[in-house]
Amino acid sequence: MHLRTKHMSDQVAEAGAFSRGHLRLLVTTGPEDLLHGLQRYDLWSRIGFMEIKRRYRRTVIGPFWGTISLAIFIAVMSTVGIGLWKQTLGEYMPFLASGMMVWLLISTMINESCTLFVNSQHLFSRMRMDYSILAFALVWRNLIGFLHNLAVYLLIAIVVLPALINLSLLWIIPGLFLISLNGVWVALLLGMTCVRFRDVQQLIITLLQISLFITPVFWPPDLLTGITALVFVKFNPLYSFIDVVRAPLLGKTPMLSSYAMIALITLVGWIATLRLFSRFRKRIAFWV
Amino acid sequence: MATILVENVDLDYPIYGMQRSLRRAFFQNAAGGFINKKDPHHRHVTVSALTQVSFQLTDGDRLGLIGHNGAGKSSLLKVLAGVYHPTRGKVWVDGKITSLFELALGVDADDTGYETVVTAGMLLGMTQAEIESKIPEIERFSELGEYLSLPVRTYSMGMTTRLGFSLATVLEPEILLIDEGIGAGDARFTERASKRLHELARQSAIMVLASHTDDLIRQICNKAALLTSGRIIKIGPVDEILSEYHSEKARLEAQPAAE
């Protein structure tokens, strides 16, 4: 035993001359983090699902409370909107309901992104972790939340305009995929930014509140003309993301320009995030 | 063969959002590492938690980290775990690393014992099927019985420890990193826990344990490292290092707060 210890301390002394052939460097790069994180779908889907499960706990209807408040909002807002923009109930209510659902999905993801790392410190300060797992879990959890609201939407559609329930609804799937694909980079980017600069979260909350009103969620996009239409509809990235899910829900095809806009945002967003995430990943543990 | 090779590792913590006055207060109270301000290019105050740490561990090594509070034991463990990335220097490893830094599993206090164990096991790298196959063993070891179906928030401190420790015992780590705080729990459980810790130490190829408990280090470790202000002052046989630590401690206590 004693001999062994001595032997070991000799080895310590020789550490410098040690061959490193079979050793791996204890460093995770950004792309490795994302790849390994994605492969742990069992883990991030569980983390996401448990989050939803906690909302059900000790309540009778759990996350449906969010859905109920959405339903009440839509009922009240519809009566106002129909008067304001001279719409029919069958036209306006599904428009508002679908728009609000997608808006809630997107804005909740953005809001929660700001606290991605701040709230999960207890996890990654105890063990090595692929941070991307947290981002995937966030997106997954919000998709499950969206499905709750979708149930309400289908109910509204059946009551006011049954013709909306048809196979073109399936086009929401690529739309949701695009939102998720972008949700992951937004989560990582905002998560990093907000954990380093704590003011950013307040800024994002403010911007989101304003965005709800300047994006065609309540009001029909074709009401605007000229330059305002360009700014708030055509070149409004939030509108593109809403369009690719809302249009199929309303039995329409999303605009090609929406897909083009999303393709551009996906590309730019992922490139920027990959660069920043690769560079600053190792500092996240210190920023928290 | 499991290996850890640490080469000239420095770890500087950046400290953010410090007010000037607070910064000054920090200087006067440098209990642990050094606080650097000298470098004008550094916009932030940093604390050197580790300085020029180098060592190598291979199969069979059980290293005990000894030192005062703030000497850098936990920082070193976190660097080995891959939680903190060293500011300078490199860490090379061969083997799967498992870190147990806190026995409160830290998932969510509203989850039941079962749920917590499964999520925590998966976080530590097991698959859901693997951890679920260990549930009977966890039930037996934790002796929590019906409590496992209740939220962790209803547990006492000792029960939380038991749950955490029972998870620790079903892991099959190659390189195991443990940070103290294993003492809690009633006397009978502590005895069983330390027995299991021995078994774990035997199973894992390498173990690094930070502790203030001499007996624990004596029982489990076959070598020790003395840390002071983020440096490894000495590394060698357990008894030698422990006596060095105590003589240094006695010396410090003999000359009170002169500075």
Q: In angstroms, how far is CA A178 from the centroid of its own chain? A: 10
Give this complex's ipTM: 0.83
Q: In angstroms, how far is CA B104 from the centroid of its own chain? A: 13
3-state DSSP assignment of residue B178 = strand
Alpha helices for A85-171 (secondary structure H)? 89-114, 121-124, 132-160
The 10s digit of each residue's pLDDT in B139-163 is 988 888 899 999 988 988 778 888 8
- From chain B, the residues in CB contact with A12 under 8 A are 55-56, 235
Are the CB atoms for B60 and B12 separated by under 8 Å?
no
Residue B91 has pLDDT above 60, yes or no: yes
The 10s digit of each residue's pLDDT in A44-54 is 999 999 988 88
The 10s digit of each residue's pLDDT in A198-207 is 889 999 999 9
Which residue of chain B is at minimal alpha-carbon distance from A18?
Answer: B5
**Residue B37: band (very low, low, confident or very high) from pLDDT cuts 50, 70, 90:** low
Looking at the partner chain, which of B78, B85, B111 has a beta carbon nearest the beta carbon of A282?
B85
Q: What is the mean pLDDT of residues B102-115?
A: 80
Tokens 């907000």 belong to A194
Residue B107 has pLDDT above 90, yes or no: no
B44, B55, B219: best mutation site toward chain A, by most A Cβ within 10 Å? B55
Tell me, what's the pLDDT at A4? Answer: 41
**Residue B106: band (very low, low, confident or very high) from pLDDT cuts 50, 70, 90:** low
Tell me, what's the pLDDT at B18? Answer: 55
- How does B151-183 read in b/e, with b if 16+ C-beta sit within 10 Å? bbeebeeebbbbbbbbbbbbbebbbbbbbbbbe
Looking at the partner chain, which of B56, B84, B118 has a beta carbon nearest the beta carbon of A15?
B56
Residue A16 has pLDDT above 50, yes or no: no
Q: Kindly report the nearest CA distance between residue A44 and chain B, in angstroms.
A: 10
The 10s digit of each residue's pLDDT in A127-179 is 889 999 999 999 999 999 999 889 888 888 888 888 888 888 899 999 999 99
Q: What is the mean pLDDT of residues B216-243?
A: 91
Tell me, what's the pLDDT at B104? Answer: 65
Are the CB atoms for A146 and A105 separated by under 8 Å?
yes
**What share of chain A has pLDDT > 90, as a percent?**
55
Count CB pairs under 8 A between chains A and B: 116
A245-254, B102-111, B123-132, B228-237: which has the minimum mean pLDDT? B102-111
**How many angstroms separate the CA atoms of A147 and A145, rounded?**
5
CA atoms within 13 A on the CB side of B99: 23
Tell me, what's the pLDDT at B208? Answer: 92
Which residue of chain A is at minimal alpha-carbon distance from B222?
Answer: A5
pTM (whole model) above 0.90: no
Q: What is the mean pLDDT of residues A87-93?
A: 87
